[in-house]
Structure 1
Amino acid sequence: MWRRTPLSLGPPARPAGRRSRAQWRPALSFCGRGTPGTMRLSWPKIHPPGPAGCDRRPALSGSTAADTDTAGVREAVQPPVSLASVHDAPVHTNLLGRAHEVVADLHQGGAATLMLVVVAGGATIFLGASVWRSLQRDRRGPAAAAIAMECTGLAAAFAALAYQVKAGGWLTGADPAVLGWFTGHRSDWVTGPAIAVTDAGGPAGTIILAVAIGAVCSRRARSPIPALILIGTVGAAALASTVTKSVVGRARPPIVSQVLLETDHSFPSGHATGAMALFTMAAVMFGYALSPTRRALLLSLAAAVTVVVSVTRLYLGEHWLSDVVGGVLLGGLAAVIGGALYTTWMDRTRARGAAGPAENYTHSGRSDPTTMGYAA
């Protein structure tokens, strides 16, 4: 056998025996990790010592060795292109993620701003239509245009607020702060009355009050229509509140902040909806035959009672602020529609009574408004 000396630069002399030319092809191997440019030659069946990590396997023969040589030289001359891609991939990913976050924030902020404009615009339309209706010469008769504007304003404001609650926009950002303020200012002498008020304004209490007020109005008008209108208005408001709760699906405030445990959905507040619909309708029905000043006082009293019921829901930690506002808007919308129905019925009853052959008189000689369709 022959041995190759360290000073030998060319291939050794062919030993005895016939071998193919491919078996004498030198093979390329790369030594050193992270240094693809380091290259050394190795001859068949000769394994000279090298640094740690070098490929000391025998060289391949034939076409396999040729393919290995070509791939090794190409890799030694040109480093892998994927190295730059691997280093740049996190940068591109971070940039794309940041861009998506910015676009989402802009979209959410723009939607919240638009919804705020819609809520403010709806409230403005409602107030303007109410003032316009109050300035009319015949204040008892319903003005179709004013009523339509009131309904449009309240419906738009309620829909915009419900969308923001569903989307979690910044329009509801004040809810945690308001809830925290109320829960942080509780006292024993306020909690008891608040529980009593919220129990009275619950579903059972609202139904009982609606039936009682409707019975009184129907007895004075000698017709079941006022009771049906009042109970139907309150029932429609409660049904709309239940459906909206299922659609929006907002969770209640944390259990630790609740005095009375509530587990159903939160938006809108059923107490605020029922109180607004019931007491506003009662003010409209009892104030139909009164002067404008007395009607305004009745409406103010109804608004004050609604505010008290709504504040108790915040104080007891049962609702968010936007839940209460949504309930007031929904109850007001139901009261506007119910009040328009009641006013229309009363106007027609009064017209039929005035067209009769003679008016009914009481024994005091004064006309009885209840027999003519007036609510005393």
Structure 2
Amino acid sequence: MREVVQRPVSLVSAHGASVLTNLIGRVQDTVTDHYPGSDAVALAVLVGGAMMVLGASVWRCLPGVHRRGPVAAGLIAVQGTGLAAAFVALTYQVKAGGAVTGTDPAVLGWFSEHRSDWVTGPAIAVTDAGGPVGTVVLAVVLGAVLSRRARSPIPAGILIGTVGAAALASTVTKTVVGRARPPIVSQVLLETDHSFPSGHATGAMALFVMAAVMFGYALPPARRALLLVLAAAVTVVVAATRLYLGEHWLTDVLGGVVLGGLAAVIGGALYTTWMDAPDRYATNPDDATAHPGRTNPAMGHAA
């Protein structure tokens, strides 16, 4: 029998862990406090954030709005700010048990009551494929294809980095919020870790939207829009399986979609900036001729 050797804990690592634990604890205490009128404020921030994203997205669709310059950068900032504000407001409501979470039990109950054998099997397959392992594998494969096309490792780095950053943000938020999963009796697949936000929804949104942005970079606007619609549809399917199987509350998957969307906005901006760099096409004329009349693909909106 192998003996387990007890090693002394480093004072530095112990101190660092203590500091991190205290920091997380203070954040948890802050967001747990439910102040009068906080529900109305959170709802206003959620609606305002959604309107910011929608308004900026529509503006970027208008003819004559260029990919570069202060206007384009400002619109991307508005999109990112709207998504970030909505995510913070939703996180606060979930942690404080606010009014926004009021529909969670009803939605969970509806899905639980409408399960059937012919749906449960495919739902399990989809949720397994959309898990952390499947997301990482698909991100690596798609990144390799993009890097091969671009003859550079940067596209793969941007795609994998975006998905990885979204997953890290999801994990940290789970720790801070500490929300319990739906009751075990409601779950088809037993999961006991923290619930908000849904890692599946976060990863699917970040991965598939980024893939649509990157693969659709040189395509006409209609085809780019089609890719984004497909990305959104796949994300919805993955998120729906989490609800159907009883693994998450509704606000969990909404939080994951918002967080993944924020990651995709940032990643899409980085990819567009790299693709538009003049020196990149100066050193590789073949790429310049392969992408005539390029338009801004970030979140699928034409420049």
Fold match (TM-score > 0.5): yes
Matched, 1:192 2:118: no
Q: Which amino acid aligns with 2:50?
A: A
Q: Which residue of 1 aligns with 2:160?
A: 231
Gaps of 5+ in 2: 1-33, 298-303
CA contact (8 A) 1:140 1:347 kept: no
Q: Which amino acid aligns with 1:117?
A: A
Q: 1:312 to 1:109 in 2, by over 3 A?
A: farther
Q: Which residue of 1 aligns with 2:219?
A: 290
Q: CA deviation at 1:141?
A: 4.3
Task: Give the TM-score taking structure 1 as reference length.
Answer: 0.66
> How far apart, in 1, do the equivalents of 2:42 and 2:260 lie?
20
SS of 1:259's equivalent in the other structure is coil
Matched, 1:333 2:262: yes
> How far apart, in 2, do the equivalents of 1:211 and 1:190 lie?
29
Matched, 1:144 2:66: no
Q: Which residue of 1 aligns with 2:44?
A: 117
Q: Which amino acid aligns with 1:223?
A: S
> How far apart, in 2, do the equivalents of 1:360 and 1:300 lie?
30
Give the alignment of 1:154-193 within 5 angstroms: 154-193=83-122
Q: Which amino acid aligns with 2:241?
A: T
Give the alignment of 1:92-131 within 5 angstroms: 110-131=37-58
Q: CA deviation at 1:354?
A: 5.1
SS of 1:260's equivalent in the other structure is coil
- State how many pairs are aligned: 260
CA contact (8 A) 1:141 1:343 kept: no
More helix by share: 2
Percent sequence identity is: 74
> How far apart, in 1, do the equivalents of 2:290 and 2:56 lie?
32
CA contact (8 A) 1:140 1:288 kept: no
Deviations, residues 273-323 of structure 1 (Å, cap 9, x unaligned): 000000000000011101111111111110000000000000000000000
> How far apart, in 2, do the equivalents of 1:165 and 1:352 lie?
47
Q: 1:214 to 1:360 in 2, by over 3 A?
A: closer
Q: Which residue of 1 aligns with 2:62?
A: 135
> How far apart, in 1, do the equivalents of 2:188 and 2:210 lie?
30
Q: CA deviation at 1:352?
A: 2.6
Q: CA deviation at 1:133?
A: 1.6
Q: CA deviation at 1:368?
A: 3.6
Q: Which residue of 2 aligns with 1:256?
A: 185
Deviations, residues 55-77 of structure 1 (Å, cap 9, x unaligned): xxxxxxxxxxxxxxxxxxxxxxx
Higher relative contact order (CA 8 A, sep 6+): 2
> How far apart, in 1, do the equivalents of 2:127 and 2:280 lie?
42
* Root mean square deviation, CA, Å: 2.3
Give the alignment of 1:26-105 within 5 angstroms: none
Q: Which residue of 2 aligns with 1:203?
A: 132
Q: CA deviation at 1:170?
A: 1.4
> How far apart, in 1, do the equivalents of 2:117 and 2:86 lie?
36
Deviations, residues 156-189 of structure 1 (Å, cap 9, x unaligned): 0000000000100111000000000000000000
Q: Which residue of 2 aligns with 1:245?
A: 174
Q: 1:178 to 1:187 in 2, by over 3 A?
A: same
Q: CA deviation at 1:138?
A: 5.7
Task: Give the TM-score taking structure 2 as reference length.
Answer: 0.81
Gaps of 5+ in 1: 1-106
Matched, 1:271 2:197: no
Q: 1:140 to 1:282 in 2, by over 3 A?
A: farther
SS of 1:190's equivalent in the other structure is helix
Q: CA deviation at 1:113?
A: 1.4
CA contact (8 A) 1:109 1:169 kept: no
> How far apart, in 1, do the equivalents of 2:252 and 2:267 lie?
22
Q: 1:263 to 1:347 in 2, by over 3 A?
A: same
